[in-house]
Structure 1
Amino acid sequence: MSRGGQGLARVAVVVRAGAAPMWWLGVVAAGIGILVPGLTGRRIGVLAGAALFIVGTAVVAWGRRKRYVALAQSAARAGKHDVLQDRHVTVRNWRRGHRWWLLLAFLAALGSAFAVPVAGGLLLAGCGVGLWLKAAWLGRRERAGDALLWVRVDWLGRNGGGPVGKTVKAYRSTGIAAGDAAPGGARRRAAALA
């Protein structure tokens, strides 16, 4: 480790960062899509969208869990010189880095409404719900292990993959009270800080 330590971001916060934008963009796209009759008609579009919502939620929520578990089990304690990134900084950085992908996903969901109304929007919303579920699962693991999981910031931006990408070699861990985010990546409540 270098003399100045490493910048660390919470794994659960990185996972959770995309949940809200994907959910809301998906809901808006589905709402606009319901106004378009499309090639298949609204009824088929809504049914297909419901199925895609469930599939998208399941795939995102349960995808790559073995990799998360393996990295969590081999996590080393963070050093005293490591810098813990604030929750809002992690969320802002993730959203800035993915804003064009989110815009493209939204436009694709809107465009798909001309073929299958609502379906693309519900798929995008389902992916957002899947991220929330995955962050909640990580939070349960953090509480059970009484340790928060962190990933080096410089590993996040390389070659995609997020907190389980190929460049991520290991996680770091801290006590449950470290940082400004609760287990699972949500904001800490004021009562919990007191």
Structure 2
Amino acid sequence: MTHQKKVGVIGSGQVAKVLGNGLLALGHRVMLSSRDITKLSEWKEKSKENALVGSFKEAAEFGDIIILAVSGRAATEAIESAGPQYFNGKTVIDPTNPISENPPVHGVLSYFTGPDESLMEILQARYPEANFVKAFNSVGNAYMVNPSFKEGKPSMFICGNNDDAKAEVTEILDAFGWETLDMGKVIAARAIEPLCILWCIPGFLRSEWNHAFKLMKA
């Protein structure tokens, strides 16, 4: 991704801001979005000139690439609010996890999806013209951009049905300092989404949040 892209971020939370700032640092134009854009006034003030704010619809329409930076429970509603037509044919980076409203039990989150489905599959089936790519769901936002670990470069597992979209996301991950591991089609989200549960357990049990996954190869 050697030329400047327009990236529309659906959301205004920490994931949205961290990824938005990372993309701004790479020279891309970024629009964060909220139902109340006054929430983003401070972010825009502190960010570079390529930083924009708008509604969900404006961000979806703006982006060559879209990042779905909302909670898993709000994902469908956010896309409907933005306008599904603006997702058609675009790379949609999907960091969402299907975390239920129930609190963790012994440090283990509960999901509202079953064992033979994933939130990503639900979204891809509902919006078949969008090119969803699962990424950034298996690490905390503090390590999404330029992660630094003494063991070396961490691994980011991705999946999606469109190879061009995955290549586009891989370029971003490379620039952010990740080893990208392509796990294939959307169905692989059944394995990738639960990595969030595993990642969170040390945090909930021992307040240890400073880690990431690494695939070791012989």
What TM-score comes out, normalization by structure 2 length?
0.22
What TM-score comes out, normalization by structure 1 length?
0.24
Q: 1 or 2, which has the higher helix percentage?
A: 1
Q: 1 or 2, which has the higher strand percentage?
A: 2
Which one has more relative contact order, counting CA pairs under 8 Å at least 6 apart? 1
Q: Which has the larger radius of gyration?
A: 1
